[in-house]
Structure 1
Amino acid sequence: MPVRAESIKVARDWVEDVLARLGQDAYVAKVVVSELVTNVLRHTGSATATVRVVQVDKGTVVEVFDSCDVLPVTAPADLMSEGGRGLAMLGALVKEWGAQPLGGGGKAVWALLPEAAQ
């Protein structure tokens, strides 16, 4: 999908639809994908992003792929700042999350949803 503000809602609605077809609650997944797509929009300079939902042995994973090679880093947020808390929030909502570089450039940022969200 193209990376623009409207893409956040598109990604959220798509994840909700996919999880509904799997019989899973999408509340946490929608927050997660909103954060990950927002990060692509605000921090990467990528023109496009890809969202994927994958069922694995541990549960359900939401992944967002972009063309930026820089991996996200959780940093302490400035108390006066409007942003900078997204990855900390993400960490509090999911079982685990991470990022990995892609062989041809870019990265994937993923989050393993909690069991209540599956």
Structure 2
Amino acid sequence: MKTARDWVGEMLGTWGRDAYVAKVVVSELVTNVVRHTDSETATVRLLLADRGIVVEVIDGCDAMPEARDVGVLSEDGRGLAMLGALVKDWGAQPVAGGGKVVWALLPEEDG
């Protein structure tokens, strides 16, 4: 996860963009691959799209992520809710040949 966070920070730095939210987002998405799939690898991509910067994490698991309602005392299950609060939009879709891509559209920077 550190490798992915560092790479995102470096890339966004070269684009002159703040990387704080992107690092949190990529950390959560890669953590989900490690904890909730049997995928041995994850691919992280950054896209500069018309709507803004998109973070994508691609893995080999077909199961789609689902945000859960969790109780106040729950020790896990808050990641996707947190993701939803940090970004403009997020989603997941199947990848041809198996697996999925989970994406997040980062908020616009103030300034």
Settle same-fold status: TM greater than 0.5: yes
> Equivalent residues in 2 for 1:1-118 (5 A)?
8-116=1-109
Distance 2:43 2:95 in 1: 13
User: Structure 1: where are the runs of 5+ without partners?
Assistant: 1-7
- Name the SS for the 2:16 alignment partner: coil
User: Structure 2: where are the runs of 5+ without partners?
Assistant: none
46-55 or 73-82: bigger deviation: 73-82
The higher relative CO (CA closer than 8 Å, separation ≥ 6) is in 1
- Name the SS for the 1:15 alignment partner: helix
CA RMSD of aligned residues (A): 1.3
Distance 1:28 1:54 in 2: 15
Kept after mapping to 2: 8 A contact 1:69/1:106: yes
Distance 1:77 1:108 in 2: 24
TM value normalised by structure 2 = 0.96
Kept after mapping to 2: 8 A contact 1:78/1:84: no
Kept after mapping to 2: 8 A contact 1:74/1:87: yes
TM value normalised by structure 1 = 0.91
Distance 2:82 2:29 in 1: 11
CA deviations over 1:2-48 (Å, ceiling 9, x no partner)? xxxxxx11100000000000000000000000000000000011000
77-86 or 20-29: bigger deviation: 77-86
Identity of aligned residues (%): 66
CA deviations over 1:82-111 (Å, ceiling 9, x no partner)? 110000000000000000000110000000
- Name the SS for the 2:104 alignment partner: strand
Distance 1:13 1:46 in 2: 21
